[in-house]
Structure 1
Amino acid sequence: MKVLLTGFEPFGDIAVNPSQLVIEAMAHHTLPDMAITAEVLPTEYQAAGARVRELIETISPDVVLSIGVAAGRKGLHLERVALNLDDARLPDNAGQLCQGSPITDDGAPAYFSNMPLADLKASLLEKNVPVTISNHAGAYVCNHVFYSAMHTINELGLNTLCSFLHIPAIPDDYDQHAQLALLGIVKSVEYILEALQERITNQLPVAP
């Protein structure tokens, strides 16, 4: 199973982006029968969107899971909807401020994740992982990458499963508790990939 994992570099008040740490950890993990490409994207609308599109076109992955931090949220959030919208009070790391701009003029207003989110949530809860399904990935660079990935998959006619995972912030001092929390998130990403691998291998139907 070919997997594309992406995270983001620090931005704004996020001095340590846990999504970057997760991606760096996953880049060194070996999971049976999986070819994992893990890349940290710039927290920039245009550069991140272009790069995820390039990676999908090059790899033609079976699974795309992008990861980002959502300060203030608890537990994991599997995102269901990607909006064709850039809208935030915070500029990206390139200094671009987007307020109500469409991501693309020729795309759908929104895309729904085609991952089996309900099943993934149930599987994670069985493993005592705090997780919920969210209907709003925001309208910052996280959503931009999620939408760009879904739009590319749709344009290319791929059977790629795609979603976005928001994870909690961790303390800037990266203490022992933060390290344990990070290890738990990495393990949760592994759980998600293993569940998707089983579904693809057994050709089970997909229903968000």
Structure 2
Amino acid sequence: MNNLLVTGFEPFGGEAINPSWELARALNGEVVGGARVVAVQLPCVFGAALRRLDEALARVKPSVVLAIGQAGGRCDLSLERIAINVDDARIPDNAGAQPIDEPVVPGGPAAYFTTLPIKAMVAALRARGFPASVSQTAGTFVCNHLFYGLQHLLKDHRARSGFMHIPYLPEQAARHPGAPSLPLDTLLAATRVALEVALTSEEIRAGGGQLD
């Protein structure tokens, strides 16, 4: 049976939970599209997150990797198109590091594109009533750091890989008045759809332009 690697982050920025890990661990052990989900928690720490990811890739040998991160303020499942070779942290990571204008991989290319069929994934999610969009930026914090590192690690492999940002959970949004949120059950159902499409579908060209 093929493996699907799904990663989530530990809490950061003063939060007690991180929806990305709550989602990933809820999916752990499920079979989606004939492949088994293996969830791995990553530290919200520059460098350490990539080392843990590299270990997981060697152990799990996945056919698809979906890295997930929290994006407080976003209102949907955001499938990221591009990762850039820049660490530029607005706040310190969980180890106190705050790199400014540093490369993720010295000497690496300026950017990597996802190898997931993100427009097909967004189209399938919307067809089932889930809020979803293609995002053109994963930021410059640990999420982008991980996304770039993931694509760099798999650049010579056939595995599909990419990154998805998700909103707060409702219990977090209570601490952030006006911030959008999605229940875990909704995130679970939507991510199962996204993973199945990632396994089985080719990319589509959205009529009229972007699925934003």
Q: Same fold per TM (> 0.5)?
A: yes
Match of 1:182 among 161, 181, 184: 184
- 1:156-195 correspondence to structure 2 within 5 Å: 157-172=156-171, 181-195=183-197
SS at match of 1:4: strand
- 1:127-206 correspondence to structure 2 within 5 Å: 127-154=128-155, 157-172=156-171, 181-199=183-201, 204=202
Residue type of the partner of 1:36?
V
SS at match of 2:148: helix
- Is the contact between residue 10 and residue 43 of structure 2 (CA under 8 Å) also seen in structure 1? yes
Q: In the TM superposition, what whole-angstrom CA distance separates every residue of 1:137-171 from its partner, at most 9, and x where no partner exists?
A: 001111111111100001xx111111111000124
What TM-score results when the alignment is normalised by the length of structure 2? 0.87
Distance 1:64 1:180 in 2: 22
- For residue 53 of structure 1, report the CA deviation from its aligned partner: 1.8
Gaps of 5+ in 2: 175-179, 207-212
Query: Structure 2 vs 1, CA of residues 62 and 173 (structure 1 numbering), >3 Å: closer, same or farther?
Result: closer
Find out whether 1:45 has 2:46 as its counterpart: yes
- Is the contact between residue 6 and residue 67 of structure 1 (CA under 8 Å) also seen in structure 2? yes
Q: In the TM superposition, what whole-angstrom CA distance separates every residue of 1:3-56 from its partner, at most 9, and x where no partner exists?
A: 110001110132221111101101143335212210111111111011112222
- For residue 206 of structure 1, report the CA deviation from its aligned partner: 7.9
Distance 2:31 2:184 in 1: 18
Residue type of the partner of 2:188?
V
- 1:91-102 correspondence to structure 2 within 5 Å: 91-102=92-103
Identity of aligned pairs, percent? 36
SS at match of 1:77: strand
Distance 2:26 2:15 in 1: 19
- Is the contact between residue 167 and residue 181 of structure 2 (CA under 8 Å) also seen in structure 1? no
Residue type of the partner of 2:153?
T
Bigger share in helix? 1
User: How well do the aligned residues superpose, as a CA RMSD in angstroms?
Assistant: 2.3
Aligned residues: 200
Residue type of the partner of 1:125?
R
Residue type of the partner of 1:98?
P
Distance 2:94 2:199 in 1: 35
- For residue 180 of structure 1, report the CA deviation from its aligned partner: 7.1
- Is the contact between residue 119 and residue 204 of structure 2 (CA under 8 Å) also seen in structure 1? no
- 1:62-73 correspondence to structure 2 within 5 Å: 62-73=63-74
SS at match of 1:45: coil
The corresponding residue for 2:210 is none
What TM-score results when the alignment is normalised by the length of structure 1? 0.88
